[in-house]
Structure 1
Amino acid sequence: MSSVTICMMVRDDLDSLKYSLPNALEFGDEVHVLDTGSSDGTLEFLKDTAKTEPRLRVLIAPPAIIPSYGFAVARNLIGVYATTDWLHYLDADERISSPAYREILDFAVQPVIEITTLTYDKNDQADTTSWDTIRATAGGTMRERHRRIYRRDSGVKWGGYIHEEPFLGVVNAARLCQRGDIVHQHFKHYRPREGRQIKNLRYAWMIKRAIDHPVLQSYTNGYWYQEYYPLHKDEIDTNAAVYDELQPDGEILFRFPNEI
């Protein structure tokens, strides 16, 4: 039977992890979680869980790893210590749903498996007692396809400073994948408001940085720089300036010469 490591990157995700971590442990032979600067008790929760759960490995990186080097670099770090056949990347606000998870991995003929993401829309009247009640009372869902699972020894790696995707060399893994009946139930709109605001500032700063330094645009869909940025330029530039002033992730670890 195929083995799999569930790989997660978290920051201040304690409320979500109480639901998603047990789910990850249900499906994974190993669960590796990278914490990038939590201050809400997430890291303590992970360390306490790891004391009695040998399959859980907790990794730590400074908050500035994301804006400094990008999401792909951080994601690739999570799988460094994995020993399984497959790597499956799951966000803290996601939960795996699949009636035939192992069979899909066992009989896969491509190195990458494409999953379905169901994002549950925010509904102010939703019952947020648990993920199940959110799902039952959400305002609706958005269905997307994502590449989140690949063979560990396939050579596939994440690429992209922002909006990262798996690649084999310079080939997008979308060309190397097969669909699997695996669903990620995604509850991103239910994150605490403050966390969403900081995330928006960070994204704006990173987009602006990539505009100013085109080398960072490699492996990312050109839409974000050629279409999205011009449409939202004023808002992005303003938010990027606020991020620079607040420095919510601390000192940037790497800067280009003209940024110093």
Structure 2
Amino acid sequence: MTNRLVQAQRLVDNERWGQALTLVEPLAAAIAATDRNRYLFSRRLLALACSQTGRFEEAERYAGEGLVVCPEALDFPFLLAITAARAGKYDEALRFGRQYLDRWPAAANAPSETAPWNLTIDQRHQLLNAYGVALLERGRPEEAENAFREAIALCPGFDSSHINLAQMYAKQGRAEEARAAAAAGLRQTPESIPLRRLAEADRKRPTISVCMIVKDEEILLPRCLRSVQPLADEIIVVDTGSTDRTREIARDFGALVLEFPWQGDFSSARNESIHHATKDWILIIDADEELPAEDLPAIRFSIDQPDIRILSLSVFNKSLETGQVSSFLPSTRLFRRDLNLRYYGIVHNRLNIPPEMSITRCPARVFHYGYDLSADVLEKKKARTRALLEKQLADHPDDLYANFNMAQLLRGFRDADSEEVSRAIMEHAGRVIGNPESKTPRYFGQRLMSLHQMATALYALKRYEEAERYCREALEAKPGYLDPIMTLGHIHLAAGRLNDARTCYLRYLETRASYRAEDETDNVILLYLDGVHVAWYGLGLIAEKERAVAEAIRCYRQALAARAPYLDCYLRLGRLSLDNHDPIAAEAMFRNEAERDERSAWAWFGLGEALSQQGRDDQGVDYFRRAVDLAPDDHQMLFRLGKT
């Protein structure tokens, strides 16, 4: 056995990872932890080989087993941190990286029995490099920069630290510093191709054509054009019949404005704008959208990469008034002009991308304000979209994308929970799910969302078992899909299965905590990207039903911490505080509700009760009178007033 371990170590030294695994893995179970040296030797070897071959979970398991037996060693936290960083588990990389760094000073004086498991004492630069990557991914760029610089100081010939430092500067828009960092790295490692590319970046900067279609967008268009100006080498605006100042505003921003009569087809107008583009890249954006200034360097960095051809950005449907996000989706918005890509579909048009072309996710965001409209304008917009979809479906009744979009549109109607609309949603979602083509990779996102559309429609019809089945099918295909996780919680709560509902809401909170929109690769619209308040509210309802007053109060406060105001949280907290004999806290909650809605009879009534419990009856009576004036026929309120 010892000979095989030694032979495997020689294979590892020569980077023949697969052969080493073939030799040692059959022995792993036979080596007992009581055989300490051979056990630790085998776990370190197996962890390293598994990590190098992409078998991250097994690498973590083997390194973890070694750490349990020898918790003072450096090698196992080193391997755990490096592997976690490679696997994208950045919190774990930071935890084990910190463990390694804290133990490192004492490692030089380690007792002889520990020294064999401190072979990575001279590889602190590698650890710091991985640690820097994890810090950067967790939004701590200053600390990441320090880690990369410390790694470079320890080992100037290790090119990964130079590369990561230069790339970090580039993504932050610090082009001169990026080139300087890359040049400094090249002096140490002149053979590094990535460093050479970074050092030579921006010598010929890729150019961008911003392509838009507009009609009567004078209100939001200036915001959009200001946001794209720093990126744009030309702006092409196709106007389909504006009667306001839209064309004048676009020309003021230097745009080429083309008049194109509306033909009832968004794709023809979109393709007309692309036809007139002359620059290297096409950026598609609408007048009711905006690129955040802090994200422009990420776009510039991405288009500078020679192997990137198509970019998908993260679109957030957002309220201008409140800043709240209602939904999220990845959307292809940038592509090289020489690919000759064009749009198809008369409404909710799609870019016709050949299956063999890869799409790269870019961390840049697009804020979309198109739903932040008056009720009348929004209803007119929905009616226009519905008419176009009906026309498309009349010609192509089995069109997957059109059926999905019709179901999605209907979900946004005021009466979406009515039986008539719910059945219409089910009809169109069912056409997607029942089409065999929906099971192909091309329509993976549409099938997932159609499963959730079906589930929410069945939930509205109180057909809970069927709704649950569709949620579970969606989660089998995509376990981290936030929307069906939340909807399952609602289903269980409505069906009275409180423990199951609690499990789902907690699962949502856990999944959402680790979810990063920029890492989403499936084209799914997320309705519950910002649903933390919804999950906490559901947990509060469960606690109330279980008569766990303190827990219900905690959950509703968490809901308000995530989004305030939200539904009847203030009223519920006020009522629970009264039940908990805390009239001062109750008074604060009822006042918040009264400020939110001065016509809330129960807010004024609650204030009266809270003040009465504090012995302030004279003031309380005034609030009781106001409540009764607002709801003179509320028998429950009159009954409670009589008791009070």
TM-score (norm 2): 0.30
Equivalent residue letter for 2:312: E
Residue of structure 2 aligned with 1:212, choices 374, 382, 394: 394
Residues 195-229 of structure 1: CA distance to partner in whole angstroms, max 9, x if unpaired? 433322211111111122129x7684552368978
State the secondary structure of the residue aligned to 2:362.
Answer: strand
1:143 aligns with 2:328: yes
Aligned residue identity for 2:313: I
Other-structure match for 2:239: 35
Letter in 2 for 1:150: F
Tell me which residue corresponds to 1:60.
259
Deviations 1:227-250 (A, max 9, x none): 9786159xxxxxxxxxxxxxxxxx
| Residue 88 (str. 1) matches residue 286 (str. 2) | no
Residue 250 of structure 2 is aligned with which of 46, 51, 60? 46
1:23–1:195 Cα change, 3 Å: same
The correspondence for 2:404, drawn from 188, 204, 223, is 223
* Cα RMSD for the two superposed structures: 2.8
The one-letter code of the counterpart of 1:111 is R
- For structure 1, the residue ranges without an aligned partner over 5 or more in a row are 122-130, 234-260
Check 1:227–1:104 CA distance in 2 against 1; reply closer, same or farther (3 A cut).
Answer: closer
Query: Which has the larger Rg?
Result: 2
Query: In the TM superposition, what are the counterparts of 1:1-260 in structure 2 within 5 Å?
Result: 1-47=205-251, 49=252, 53=254, 56-62=255-261, 64-65=262-263, 67=264, 70-97=265-292, 98=295, 99-107=297-305, 109-121=307-319, 134=321, 137-168=322-353, 171=354, 176-214=358-396, 220=401, 222-224=403-405, 231=424
Cα drift, residue 41 of structure 1: 1.8
Distance 1:46 1:112 in 2: 26
Distance 1:228 1:9, change over 3 A: closer
Q: How far apart in 2 are the matches of 1:199 and 1:224? A: 14
> CA shift at 1:29, angstroms?
0.7
Q: Distance in 2 between matches of 1:191 and 1:96?
A: 19
- Residue identity matched to 2:330: R
Residues 120 and 177 from structure 1, CA distance in 2 versus in 1: closer, same or farther, beyond 3 angstroms? same
The answer to whether the 8 A contact 2:211-2:273 is kept is yes
Q: Give the Å deviation of 1:188.
A: 1.3
SS at match of 1:14: coil
The one-letter code sitting in structure 1 at the alignment partner of 2:305 is F
1:15-69: CA deviation from partner (whole Å, max 9, x where unpaired) = 101211111222211111111111122123223x15xx3xx2111112x32x2xx
Distance of 2:383 and 2:408 partners within structure 1: 19
Amino acid of the structure 2 residue aligned with 1:112: I
8 Å CA contact 1:159, 1:219 repeated in 2: no
Q: Against the structure 1 CA distance between its residues 3 and 204, is the aligned structure 2 distance closer, same or farther, given a 3 Å change threshold?
A: same
Matched residue, 2:446: none
The question of whether the paired residues in 2 share the 8 Å contact of 1:2 and 1:86 is answered with yes
Asked whether the equivalents of residues 302 and 308 of structure 2 are also in contact (C-alpha less than 8 Å), the reply is no
CA deviations over 1:109-155 (Å, ceiling 9, x no partner): 2421000011114xxxxxxxxx5xx3xx3333422100111110113
- Cα contact 1:76–1:157 (8 A) shared by 2: yes
Distance 2:222 2:270 in 1: 21
Count the aligned residue pairs. 208
Native 8 Å contact 1:166 1:172 kept in 2: no
Kindly indicate which of the two structures has a greater share of residues assigned to strand.
Answer: 1
Deviations 1:142-172 (A, max 9, x none): 221001111101132112222211113xx36
Q: Name the aligned partner's letter for residue 340 of structure 2.
A: G
Which amino acid is the alignment partner of residue 335 of structure 2?
Y
Deviation at 1:190, TM superposition (A): 2.1
Amino acid at match of 1:191: L
- Taking the aligned partners of 2:400 and 2:279, their CA distance within structure 1 comes to 26
Q: Which residue of 2 aligns with 1:246?
A: none
Query: Partner amino acid for 1:204?
Result: R
Higher share of residues assigned helix = 2
Structure 2: how far apart are the matches of 1:199 and 1:172?
32
Distance of 1:90 and 1:72 partners within structure 2: 14
**Aligned CA distance change for structure 1 residues 172 and 192 (closer, same or farther; 3 Å):** farther
Are residues 13 and 108 of structure 1, via their aligned partners in 2, closer, same or farther at CA, if it must alter by over 3 Å? Answer: farther
Q: Which amino acid in structure 1 is aligned with residue 283 of structure 2?
A: H
Query: Which has the higher mean CA deviation after the structures are superposed, 80-89 or 152-161?
Result: 152-161
Give the residue type in structure 1 aligned to 2:207: S
